[in-house]
A = this chain, B = another copy of it.
Amino acid sequence: MNAADLRLPVDVPSTALFTDRYELTMLQGALRSGTAHRRSVFEVFTRRLPEGRRYGVVAGTGRVLDAVENFRFDSGVLDFLADRKIVDEATLDWLAGYRFRGDIWGYPEGEVYFPGSPVMRVEGTFAEAVLLETVILSILNHDSAVAAAASRMSVAAGERPLIEMGARRTHELAAVAAARAAFVGGFTSTSDLAAGFRYNIPTVGTSAHAFTLLHDSERDAFRAQVDSLGEGTTLLVDTYDVAEAVAMAVEIAGPGLGAVRIDSGDLLLLAHRVRRQLDELGARDTKIIVTSDLDEYAIASLAAAPVDAYGVGTQLVTGSGHPTCSMVYKLVARADEDGADAPLRPVAKKSMGGKASVGGRKWAARRLDAYGVAEAEVVGTGEVPAELVERQLLVPLVRGGETVAREPLSAARDRHAAARAALPMSATQLSRGEPVLPTEHP
């Protein structure tokens, strides 16, 4: 897949170096000891949700599929590995032909998860599966953290649109992924042009204080903006005096003015005042957009205020206090010998310091109560109980190295809304609490 297919602002010739060095040295050791081709199962899960959170949101799945497809060791990469003596010749030869040919299952993107949920399962030889650890975790840990924050904000915002505008607060490419994850979590649009380019997310934005300050007067700036962008534009009204600016905005654009934006001060108070003023001026359809260090709690506190849309930056892209999930990628089963049919043996690190794993290749299902509301996340090994067969959560994503689960981003967004709606009502409380579903290991 080339850059044009990916519609990336940044070409990704290979994702193979988004890898911790130990994955390659383990590969070398396993090739040498003859264990590299044992069939192996790795699972991605988290032992806990961030403190106080009631559910997690799987995001980044589509990006994992891109990353796996582009995980190739081209000559530039191989030269680097040889030059720095990172692995030996035999390993370099093996890497030159690398392509993931195994299977990947996972919770579909947008689905919710709980402690112990096997959100992704990678099956193949040890050699081919061990190499994907870092890039899969990078993507899922980052994107799921942002999506979880976005989901809480979208609960708080109700039907009002949410604009993602955090690019300036995070790494420039993390920003693109964050805009994508925010969309999955329920956001409506983004300020980030790269996210519009790459993922076709609607982009918005009109002006900053600099535009007002550039002109000889606020009046000149408003007139310039309306001349250029039309009366439907959004005028930023808090550079000097808000009331004066609102009056001037309606005078210049007319009562058809699209919106005003307030980016500082007491947003609750200002929203009420500005709404009253706009209504008195006849600009009843002019919307009010607020944007100033918002998080889910600030959004909720404005629920009764006459606000039409929220722009959210810092707290979104930093996961509202939890910028990463604690997902891990663990070997849970492997064969004793080579071959696709060799039986699997569960394996697990011994418990110490809370880092124990549950061995064995797992299934997961969400059990519903008599009213159709989710009541437990059931995670087991072996046979799936008959009553849960239809409620299984893992779906095939890659089969024999071929991606089988491409979907438009809107499908993940819709899935998230549906999955969240099927949780017990307490899931959407913003207050700290326990995971809203218990995880059962039958």
Contacts and interface: CB of A to CB of B under 8 A. Distances in A.
A174 B146 CA distance: 14
Interface in A205-230: 205-211, 213-216, 220-221, 223-225, 227-229
Interface string A129-164: 010011101110111000000000000000000000
Contacts of A28: 228-229
Nearest to A33: B224
Given A169-B324, A224-B30, A353-B266, A331 B21 contact: no
Contacts of A287: none
Interface stretch (A187-195, A247-255, A410-418): A187-195
Contacts of A225: 29
Contacts of A314: 324, 326
Interface of A: 3, 9-15, 17-26, 28-30, 32-33, 35, 38, 40, 42, 67, 77, 80-81, 84, 86, 88, 126, 130, 133-135, 137-139, 141-143, 165, 167-177, 191-194, 196-197, 203-211, 213-216, 220-221, 223-225, 227-229, 238-241, 263-266, 292, 314, 317-318, 323-324, 326, 329-331, 334, 336, 347-350, 352-355
7 contacts: A23-B205, A28-B229, A33-B224, A133-B168, A138-B175, A210-B330, A265-B353
By Cβ-Cβ distance, the 9 closest A-B pairs, closest first, are A33-B224, A22-B205, A21-B205, A171-B174, A137-B168, A11-B11, A264-B353, A210-B331, A17-B194
